């Protein structure tokens, strides 16, 4: 590995996952070797979980999950969610944001089972993950959720929507489809969570978001979370929220506990050769590899499999059950490697990813930030490597 801030030109050499011509290429942005020892940094929360006087069943589930100390976003956001205030939350990835809105909303519905909550997210994987976390926190509380995502049949989702439910978690496209079929009626939903709002904006879901908001009661509780604040996001905040409380625990673009470096590819080697050599090292035990194209990441996983590595892939050409199976194998350490397109870069919370490797350059710096945020979660350290030819 080498340091260096020299520019370079992406070269199309006909290898797996060719680089885009307009890939983000500021090499200095891929290097950050100084990992701060987080044990020397002490965040002292103002609150404890006991302070909020959650219902006893919820307290039991929080303890069973192993939550003891509030993270900064939880410490700042939960009191305002409990008070029914609209919130704009800006936080780095891996900060416990999901629990910051789920826990107080579960408590809200335990107290009044007539309440309903809509949670809207950009990707199927994130929706699935939030649904799983909800089920852990809501265990034995007689609360029910419906997961509404594309890539799977509508039948089960329609049946569950006709049954008793308190949470609907889904992606904009499928939620809109269900609304247009008159299966999902948002007039009874007084709370909405828009998670990863900047990503939904990037993916062109703004019309779907507006459509959903227009079908909800005017008097509603809106929780809005984003990793970035752009003029477009500010416009949405003004449009969707009423006198929101702004909470920011975002300290810098890239996680400070992620060691970042570049790997320069010698002229006599291929990226695949270099990757092979890295994956044979014992510390590369759980590696997420990002490529640019669906075909590229599928081919890369296949090539790694031929070389004896347990590799899975996740991309848009796979059905939702196939994507979920690949994620589960990787999450539970049955696969050493997961190759992915940027569909997996946002929101996924996979424990103990040791390395993120940018096999292909990200299209934007924002994509880079979200890719490498899959390692170094919470207080753990991680490593991110970017291949440069």
Out of 20-29, 154-163, 173-182, 350-359, least confident range: 20-29
- pLDDT for 93 equals 62
59 within some domain: yes
Per the document, the length of the chain is 389
288 has pLDDT over 80: yes
Say what percent of the chain tops pLDDT 90.
60
Q: What is the mean pLDDT of residues 28-53?
A: 68
Lowest-confidence pick of 105-109, 243-247, 363-367: 363-367
Q: What is the pLDDT of residue 43?
A: 66
- 227 and 297 part of one domain: no
Cα–Cα distance for residue pair 215/69, rounded to 1 Å: 38
- Which pLDDT score is estimated for 274? 94
Residue 185, in any domain of the structure: yes
- What value does the mean pLDDT take over residues 207-219? 93
SS3 of 168, please? Answer: strand
Residues 271, 205 within the same domain: no
Same domain for 58 and 137, yes or no, is yes
Structure tokens of 318?
Answer: 């796979």
Taking residues 139-156, what's their average pLDDT? 94
What is the separation of C-alpha 140 from the centre of its chain, rounded to a whole number of angstroms? Answer: 27
- Residue 116 domain boundaries: 49-248
Quote the mean pLDDT of the chain.
86
Number of structural domains, the chain?
Answer: 2
240 occurs within a structural domain: yes
Confidence of residue 320 (pLDDT cuts 50, 70, 90): confident
Q: Can you read off the two tokens belonging to residue 152?
A: 């799977």
Report how far residue 191's alpha carbon sits from residue 105's, in angstroms, rounded to the nearest whole number.
9
pLDDT at residue 35 tops 50? no
pLDDT given for residue 378 in this prediction:
67
Best-predicted range by mean pLDDT (36-50, 122-136, 252-266): 122-136
Q: Look at residues 248, 283, 306 and tell me which one is the last residue of a structural domain.
A: 248
pLDDT class for 316, splitting at 50, 70, 90? confident
312 in a domain, yes or no? yes
Please say whether the beta carbons of 86 and 157 come within 8 A. no
Instruction: Say yes or no to pLDDT of 252 above 70.
Output: no
What average pLDDT does range 80-107 have in this prediction?
A: 90
pLDDT over 50 (residue 6): no
Residue 11 lies in a domain: no
- HSE value, Cβ hemisphere, 13 Å, CA-based, for 326: 21
């Amino acid at each position: 590995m080498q340091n260096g801030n020299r520019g370079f030109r992406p070269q199309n050499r006909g290898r797996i996952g060719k680089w885009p011509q307009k890939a983000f290429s500021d090499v200095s942005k891929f290097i950050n070797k100084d990992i701060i020892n987080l044990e020397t940094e002490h965040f002292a929360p103002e609150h404890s979980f006991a302070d909020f006087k959650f219902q006893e069943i919820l307290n039991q589930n929080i303890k069973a999950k192993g939550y003891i100390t509030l993270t900064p976003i939880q410490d700042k956001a939960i009191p305002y969610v409990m008070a029914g205030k609209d919130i704009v939350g800006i936080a780095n990835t891996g900060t416990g944001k999901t629990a910051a809105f789920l826990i107080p909303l579960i408590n809200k519905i335990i107290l009044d089972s007539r309440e309903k909550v809509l949670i809207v997210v950009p990707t199927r994987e994130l929706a699935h993950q939030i649904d799983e976390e909800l089920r852990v926190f809501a265990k034995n509380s007689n609360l029910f959720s419906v997961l509404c995502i594309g890539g799977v049949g509508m039948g089960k989702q329609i049946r569950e929507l006709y049954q008793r439910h308190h949470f609907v978690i889904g992606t904009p496209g499928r939620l809109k489809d269900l609304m247009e079929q008159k299966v999902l009626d948002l007039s009874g939903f007084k709370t909405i969570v828009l998670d990863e709002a900047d990503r939904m904006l990037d993916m062109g879901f703004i019309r779907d978001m507006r459509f959903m908001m227009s079908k909800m009661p005017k008097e509603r509780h809106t929780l809005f979370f984003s990793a970035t604040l752009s003029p477009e996001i500010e416009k949405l905040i003004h449009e969707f929220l009423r006198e929101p409380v702004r909470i920011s625990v975002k300290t810098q673009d890239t996680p400070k506990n992620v060691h970042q470096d570049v790997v320069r590819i010698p002229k006599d080697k291929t990226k695949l050769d270099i990757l092979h050599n890295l994956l044979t090292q014992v510390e590369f035990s759980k590696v997420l590899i990002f490529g640019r194209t669906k075909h590229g990441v599928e081919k890369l996983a296949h090539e790694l499999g031929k070389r004896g590595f347990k590799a899975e892939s996740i991309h848009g050409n796979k059905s939702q059950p196939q994507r979920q199976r690949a994620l589960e194998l990787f999450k539970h350490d049955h696969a050493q490697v997961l190759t992915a397109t940027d569909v997996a870069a946002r929101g996924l919370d996979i424990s103990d990813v040791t390395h993120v490797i940018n096999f292909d350059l990200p299209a934007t710096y924002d994509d880079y930030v979200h890719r490498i945020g899959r390692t170094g979660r919470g207080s753990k350290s991680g490593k991110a490597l970017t291949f440069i030819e």
